Structures are given as structure tokens and as C-alpha cells.
Amino acid sequence: MTLVLAGIRKFNTRTATLVSLLVAVVLVVIEFVVVGAAYRAAPNDPNNGLTKDTVTWLLTFPGLIDAVLSITFGFGSLIALIYVAVAAGSEWTWGTLKIAVARGESRRNYALATFASLSLILGAGLAIMFLVGIASAVAGGLIAGLPMGTLDGPTLGGALAKLVRAWIALVGLASVAYAVSMIAKSQMAGVGTVIGLFIASTIVTLIPVIREIFKYLPFSTSSDAVGFGSQPGTSLGAASLDPNVALVVTIAWLIGLLAIAAIATERAEIKG
């Protein structure tokens, strides 16, 4: 626990943490405000694809809960991947791992505690993005001239459950970046690899045979695990796997990748 708390203090003081959160929050705010303004300027304009059903789902309760979660997770996942890859690689380039080992810390424990610290930071960031997203969606709805809708207890409870699932899924996805950076001992290797995999996971959805294989990989199972609701009239948010199955697979990937990262850190040569 001491290592985890130390890791949180260490990463919280870095500019990259604040900048990453700020970028993610700004993207979420822009998304909802722009939709509200575009709909108000040209309601049901077929050229912008903003039908009343779509905008109502995006900007009014209860639909906006799933909309905010989906958009928050979409923006947050890529930023989180880059952030974790950079943070993990810095353990080697900045020499913090070397200092910890010199003080008698276990390499394996240090690697796992560092990821736990990053996971808690990601959880806090996701919660902030979600709350800002809710406020932005409500503001977008007011700009669009739509009623706010209703939010009851069951809907709120479901939203909190999905937020927890989103955090687990985000942590599972981030473990890919963490493992790559710890194995390669490089920030750039981690960033390049996860961005490449992120792009590839999007492209292969167009190829049925490969899509069947990729649906069990972290980039697919992580989003399926949350259980997003679908946008009216589209398949947006439709999962390839059952959300509970996807969650189990995501956790399995998380455990496996953390084990690989810990073993790689234990056996790596620390130079300098």
C-alpha cells in the first residue's frame, strides 16, 4: 500500500497527468456542446445526421447516460493508453525503478504497485470525465432547446454500475500499454505499439474473419465489457460479446499482462 500511495503522489505531480485529463475533458465538452449547437441551428437536417431521436438520446436523460459513458470511454481509452505507456516507460528512462531497487524494493512488487497507482489515477480521471460529460450533455440539451428528461433511481444505479465496469475495462486496456512499455523499457515503443494496435482494431472490424479473432483481444473486449446502450436507429454500442463474458475476458487479459510485465521487470537488466 505504501508503494501504491507513493506512486499516486509521484504521478499526480507530473504535468502529463493534468494535461491528459484536460485534453480528455475538453474533447468531451466540445462533443456535446457542438451537437447541441448544430441541432439548434438546423433541426433534423439530414446533412448533419442529427435527427431528433439521435439528439434526444445524446442530450437528454436517460439516454445521455449511455451516450456520455460511450464518448467518455472512447476519448479516455486512447488518452489513457498513451498516458500509461509514457508513465511506464519513464520508470526506465528516469531511473525511478533503479532507485527503488537500490533501496531494497522488490522489482515485482514495484511493477505491480506502480500499475495499481496508475489504475487509481485512471479511475479518478474517468469519474471526472463522466461528471463533466453529464453536465456538458445537459448544457448541450439546453442549447438545443430539448427538455432535460427524467433520471430515476434504477437508471442512476445502472449508471454507477456501468461506470465501475468502464473503469475495470479501461484498466484492462491500459495493461496492454503498461506491459509493452515495461518489456521494451521505452516510452516511445509503448506509445507506438498501442496506437498501432488501436488503429488495427478499428480497421479489422470491416473484415468478418479477422473480426471474429479480434473480438477476444483487449481492444474489443474492453468496450464490450461496459455494456453501452445503442444509439436509436443504429448499431452503435452493439457488443460483439456478451458484456459479462467480455468483462471476464478483460480481467483475464489484465491478470496475464500484469504477470508478464512483472516477470519482465524481474528479469530485466538495469543499466547505468
Asked if pLDDT for residue 80 goes beyond 90, the answer is yes
Distance between CA atoms of 72 and 136, rounded to whole angstroms?
Answer: 12
Q: Could you tell me if 124 and 14 are in contact, meaning their C-beta atoms sit under 8 angstroms apart?
A: no
Retrieve residue 241's grid coordinates.
460479446
- pLDDT-above-70 percentage for the chain: 92
- pLDDT tier at 234 (50, 70, 90 boundaries)? low
Question: Which residues on adjacent β-strands are paired with residue 149?
Answer: 61
Banded model confidence at residue 219, pLDDT cuts 50, 70, 90: confident
Return the DSSP state at 61: B
What is the predicted pLDDT for the residue at 220? 85
1-50 pLDDT, tens digit per residue, is 788 999 999 999 889 999 999 999 999 999 999 999 999 988 876 666 77
pLDDT digits (tens, 9 = 90+) for 111-131: 999 999 999 999 999 999 999
pTM: 0.92
Which residue pairs from 196-205 have beta carbons closer than 8 angstroms and sit at least 24 positions apart in sequence? 198/78, 198/81
Q: Is the model's pLDDT at 269 over the cut of 90?
A: no
- Over 70: is that where the pLDDT of 179 sits? yes
Determine the pLDDT at residue 53.
86
